[in-house]
Amino acid sequence: MKVLITGGTGLLGKILSEKLKPQFDVIPLGDELHLGEDGVKERLSAYSPDYVIHLAAYTDVDGCEEHQNLAFRVNVLGTRYVVEWAQSQNIPVLYMSTDYVFNGEKMSPYFEYDSPDPINFYGRTKFIGEEFVKNYLQKFIVVRSSGLYGKGGKNFVNTILRIAEQRGKIWVVDDQVISPTYNLDLADGIVKILEGNGMGIYHIAGKGAVSWYEFAREIIDISGIDANVIPISTEESKRKAKRPPYSSLETTIFETEFVRLRGWKEALMSYLETK
């Protein structure tokens, strides 16, 4: 089976491509797909895949708020082109979405069928993508995840380590709770969905809920770096885009159908050991 991965050069896409290669004919694409521009369908046709994993997105949450036109073109129009093309070819799409489709007011982990209500532009564009996938395709998979880190791209863990080592002091928000997710575990989960012919909405994330501040503290503690982590509020952090105060994800459906997921701390330790 020929599996085309949009966003195949990103933090998730690189590792997922590696994981899929032994079993599938994998086509990882980066920016050359030019998602926000005309001709996406023709470019996809040139590869004639049997399955599309659509990861590509403009993922900078504050950037999306500032450059809404670009975010709309890449995340909304780009996804629409991918989905329309897949529909015309009767090809399944696995679409990667985010915890930021939720408003964060629930204050307990979100289930797969809780109602999305995004509060920033990035979340809105990703939710519209979900709607295209759900409404246009007979066979769809939506995977939501949260706070991704790992080898292969810019991410929170590496940023914390770098700043802590350089400055010995770092300020991190303590009023946003997430489920940090190791890209290796997410990639393994997506492979399981493909192998097991999964369908519908799945949450795949590190088990448990933690604030960015607690997560940063754990990164520093496990690494044994002598640095001071200082909690601040979302308001003090002065970011362009609003963030949900609580976007931890409940993973029961994935775990019932496929395999147990690791706790966020166990996964973090495993990542830091291999760094």
Ligand X SMILES: NC(=O)c1ccc[n+]([C@@H]2O[C@H](COP(=O)([O-])OP(=O)(O)OC[C@H]3O[C@@H](n4cnc5c(N)ncnc54)[C@H](OP(=O)(O)O)[C@@H]3O)[C@@H](O)[C@H]2O)c1
Active site residues: 122
Minimum CB distance to ligand X, residue 149 (Å): 7
Angstrom distance (rounded) from CA 60 to CA 196: 32
Of 120, 145, 176, 248, the residue at the interface with ligand X (CB under 6 A) is 145
CB 152 within 8 A of CB 186: no
Minimum CB distance to ligand X, residue 232 (Å): 20
Of 4, 26, 27, 55, the residue at the interface with ligand X (CB under 6 A) is 55
Instruction: Identify which of residues 167 and 194 has a Cβ nearer to ligand X in the complex.
Output: 194
* 9 touching ligand X, by CB under 6 A: yes
Of 20, 26, 27, 36, the residue at the interface with ligand X (CB under 6 A) is 36
Residues 160-199 that bind ligand X (CB under 6 A): none
Minimum CB distance to ligand X, residue 17 (Å): 10
* 153 touching ligand X, by CB under 6 A: yes
Instruction: Identify which of residues 125 and 220 has a Cβ nearer to ligand X in the complex.
Output: 125
Interface with ligand X by CB under 6 A: which range of 3-11, 44-52, 194-202, 208-216? Answer: 3-11
Of 148, 160, 172, 201, the residue at the interface with ligand X (CB under 6 A) is 148
Of 35, 157, 201, 220, the residue at the interface with ligand X (CB under 6 A) is 35
Closest CA to 15 of 210, 181, 196, 142: 181
Instruction: Identify which of residues 149 and 258 has a Cβ nearer to ligand X in the complex.
Output: 149
SS3 per residue for the chain: CEEEEECCCCHHHHHHHHHHCCCCEEEEECHHHCCCCCCHHHHHHCCCCCEEEECCCCCCHHHHHHCHHHHHHHHHHHHHHHHHHHHHHCCCEEEEEEHHHCCCCCCCCECCCCCCCCCCHHHHHHHHHHHHHHHHCCCEEEEEECCEECCCCCCHHHHHHHHHHHHCEEEEECCCEECCEEHHHHHHHHHHHHHCCCCEEEECCCECCEEHHHHHHHHHHHHCCCCEEEEECHHHHCCCCCCCCECCECCHHHHHHCCCCCEHHHHHHHHHHHC
Instruction: Identify which of residues 187 and 229 has a Cβ nearer to ligand X in the complex.
Output: 187
* 103 touching ligand X, by CB under 6 A: no
Q: Which residue is nearest to ligand X (CB)?
A: 10
Of 11, 64, 164, 204, the residue at the interface with ligand X (CB under 6 A) is 11
* 13 touching ligand X, by CB under 6 A: yes
Query: For ligand X, how many residues bind (rule: CB under 6 A)?
Result: 28
Give the contacts of 146 (CB within 8 A, at least 6 positions apart): 98, 99, 178, 179, 180, 181, 205, 206, 247, 248, 249
Minimum CB distance to ligand X, residue 255 (Å): 18
Q: Which residues bind ligand X (CB under 6 A)?
A: 6-13, 30-31, 33-36, 55-59, 74, 96, 98, 126, 145-148, 153
